[in-house]
Amino acid sequence: MRLKCIGCEVLARAIYLCAAQSPHLVDVVLLERGLHNTPAKLRTQLQDQIDASAAQGYDAVVLAYGLCGQATAGLISRGVPLAIPRAHDCITLFLGSRQRYQEQFQASPGTYWYTQDYIERRSDQGSTLALGLGSDTDLQTVYAEYVEKYGRENADYLMEVMGAWQRHYQRAVYIDLGVGDGTAVEAYAQGEADRRGWTFERMAGDLVLIRRLLYGDWGDDSGSTSGSDFLILKPGQSVKTAYDDRIIDCVDLS
């Protein structure tokens, strides 16, 4: 098969590795991680890529994305099938299963997740926010802008309020994907945890979902109430949010 993979750059190394080893011919397009903050814009860019691939001779398009704040809900498959992992966000793709992420989330919802590409590819100089959530905005720039507009006292208040959710966090996890040298990023994550008084954990990642996505091993969606690990859209179908364990589902457009 000829596959076109459209993926988020936070998965870059994993995608390149699995694409290189895939039995299929895989072309990779990476989109910026910062698009997570603007789901509508991300959706438009994804749809543009999907639309363009219809005339490029691929047998299928695969998305290395999750639901990602509803960014992928509403995407339409064109001409060839579209495969998407059933995942809320990239953390599932790093951990290798929805169930594993769910267990981790239930055990400790206040977790910051760090991975190599995520940190390497950040665009800001300021503090980095959590995977799956993050805003990349440089906090110093924001603060300076607030001081100018609203005065220092209000600026201090706004920074405190806007950043308050970070205080609810208790744990930093570095996910080691075993691709490339993540030593520096792990040390950075450890440092952030120390600085903020969080516990630190190093967790082995699992590339199984990315590998299966790029190997064309998408499984059979029938006969399972929670759905298989991948949603496969036929041409002309659209992604919709499932609001249950399936996370995403497809709907016929007509």
Partner 1 sequence: MDQLLKDIYAGVIDGQSALVQEKVKDALASGLNPGVILKEGMIAAMREVGRRFEEGEFYVPEMLIAARAMQSGLALLKPHLQESDVKSAGKVVIGTVKGDLHDIGKNLVAMMLEGAGFEIYDLGTDVTPQKFIETARSVDADIIAMSALLTTTMTNMKVTIDALADAGLRSSLKVMVGGAPITDQYAAQIGADGYAVDASRAVSVAKSLLSH
The verdict on 225 binding partner 1 (CB under 8 A) reads no
Residue 163: Cβ within 10 Å count: 12
The verdict on 180 binding partner 1 (CB under 8 A) reads no
The two structure tokens encoding residue 50 = 């999907």
The verdict on 133 binding partner 1 (CB under 8 A) reads yes
Phi, psi for 71 (deg, rounded to 5):
-65, -35
**Residue number with CB closer to partner 1 (55 or 107):** 107
The verdict on 247 binding partner 1 (CB under 8 A) reads yes
Site for partner 1 (CB under 8 A): which residue of 4, 13, 88, 212? 88
Closest distance of CB 150 from partner 1, Å: 6
**Residue number with CB closer to partner 1 (122 or 171):** 171
CB 39 within 8 A of CB 71: yes
CB 5 within 8 A of CB 53: no
Closest distance of CB 162 from partner 1, Å: 6
The verdict on 134 binding partner 1 (CB under 8 A) reads no
The verdict on 165 binding partner 1 (CB under 8 A) reads yes
The verdict on 149 binding partner 1 (CB under 8 A) reads yes
Closest distance of CB 168 from partner 1, Å: 4
**Residue number with CB closer to partner 1 (165 or 191):** 165
Site for partner 1 (CB under 8 A): which residue of 45, 47, 49, 70? 70
Using CB under 8 A as the binding criterion, the count of chain residues that bind partner 1 stands at 29
User: Taking CB under 8 A as the criterion, which residues in 11-50 touch partner 1?
Assistant: none
User: Binding marks (x or -) toward partner 1, 89..128, rule CB under 8 A?
Assistant: x------------x--xx--xx------------------
The residue ranges that bind partner 1 (CB under 8 A) are 67, 69-70, 88-89, 102, 105-106, 109-110, 132-133, 146, 149-150, 153-154, 157-158, 161-162, 164-165, 168-169, 241, 243-244, 247
